[in-house]
Amino acid sequence: MTTIDQKIAELLLGFEVDGWPVGNLILVAIALVLSVVLCGAIGIEREWKGRSAGLRTHLLVGVGSCIVMLISIYGFPAVFENKRDVARLAAAVITGVGFLGAGTIVHRGSGIKGLTTAATIWIVMAIGLACGSFNFVIAIASTLIILFVLVSFQKVEAKINKRSPVVIINVPKDTPILQKIMQVSREYEYQIQIYSTEFAGAESAYKDAITCTFRLNCSGGDERLTRYLTALEKETGAYSVRLVNSHK
């Protein structure tokens, strides 16, 4: 089956000027420019939201992946034409970018940060490879889908996470914190999932405190949640009780 991308590639590859394969140069230029536009669009969205990896990072990953794919296709002498595997460099890029994306993920007491940004770094790599292999339709369609997910699904995700917020509470070190949390949660019929219980670090404002982080599965609206947090603070004698946004 012949695709639109293959038709475009065949048309341009057959274009020559005085025996010079100018069409090949045009095809490569289209791949590079398209990778800049598509990966830049995703990078701008991440930059706008103030994430750790923004426009420049996404551009570098996407365009770099496109270049590697182009080198894999064209960057070897013709004598090796029948001995090379054009997918080998692409496979190496997938592995390498996986390590780069892992660098944006941060694990804290409130959960894991940076998963979405790590995923966008990985997807711009895939878009770059698609551009470099002249699969322009796939690259464009994928970018539109990813931008739709990043922009539109945020509100949906916010509503879901509103029903299961993460609570961080700092209490005096001699407080039976787990017992108190379970007691108040049972009174309000809330389910909880404990993430961590640890002594506050030296950098904390509460050096003689215990910090407990847990996810709350709640219902009944904001007013009930406010009453729950107030009761939790009163029962534990907490220095502070706060909700955090654990996703992204």
From the number of C-beta atoms within 10 Å of its C-beta (0-12, 13-18, 19+), residue 27 rates as buried
pLDDT at 67: 93
Q: For residue 23, what pLDDT is reported?
A: 81
Per-residue pLDDT of the chain (248 residues; tens, 9 = 90+): 567 887 888 788 777 777 777 888 889 999 999 999 999 999 998 888 777 678 898 999 999 999 999 988 887 665 555 566 777 788 888 888 877 777 776 655 445 667 888 889 999 999 999 999 999 999 999 999 999 988 888 777 766 666 778 888 888 888 888 888 888 888 888 888 877 777 766 555 666 788 888 888 877 677 888 888 898 888 888 888 888 764 45
Separation of alpha carbons 16 and 9, rounded Å: 13
Does the pTM surpass 0.85? The reply is: no
Question: Which long-range contacts link 34-37 to residues 24+ away (Cβ below 8 Å)?
Answer: 34/131, 34/136, 34/139, 34/140, 35/62, 35/63, 35/65, 35/66, 35/127, 35/128, 35/131, 35/132, 35/139, 36/62, 36/63
pLDDT of residue 175: 84
Q: Tell me what pLDDT residue 218 has.
A: 75
Q: What is the pLDDT of residue 33?
A: 95
| Residue 26 CA neighbour count, 13 Å, CB half | 14
Q: What is the pLDDT of residue 102?
A: 74
Determine the pLDDT at residue 247: 47
pLDDT of residue 32: 95
Domain ranges, ordered by start, for the chain: 4-161, 163-244
Phi, psi of 15 (to 5 degrees): -90, 125
Residue 199's pLDDT is what?
A: 79
How remote is the C-alpha of 92 from its chain's centroid? 20
Counting Cα atoms < 13 Å in the Cβ hemisphere of 19 gives 0
For residue range 97-108, list pLDDT tens digits in order. Answer: 877 777 776 655
What is the DSSP secondary structure assignment for residue 243, as one 8-state letter?
A: E
pLDDT at 30: 93
- Considering only CA atoms, which of 120, 145, 154 is closest in space to residue 46? 120
DSSP secondary structure of 19-30: TB-HHHHHHHHH
- 163-244 maps to CATH 3.10.20.600: no
Scan for tokens 């904390």, then name that residue. 204
- Give the pLDDT of residue 106: 63
User: Under the phi-then-psi rule, with left for phi > 0, alpha for psi from -120 to 50, and beta for the rest, what region is 207?
Assistant: alpha
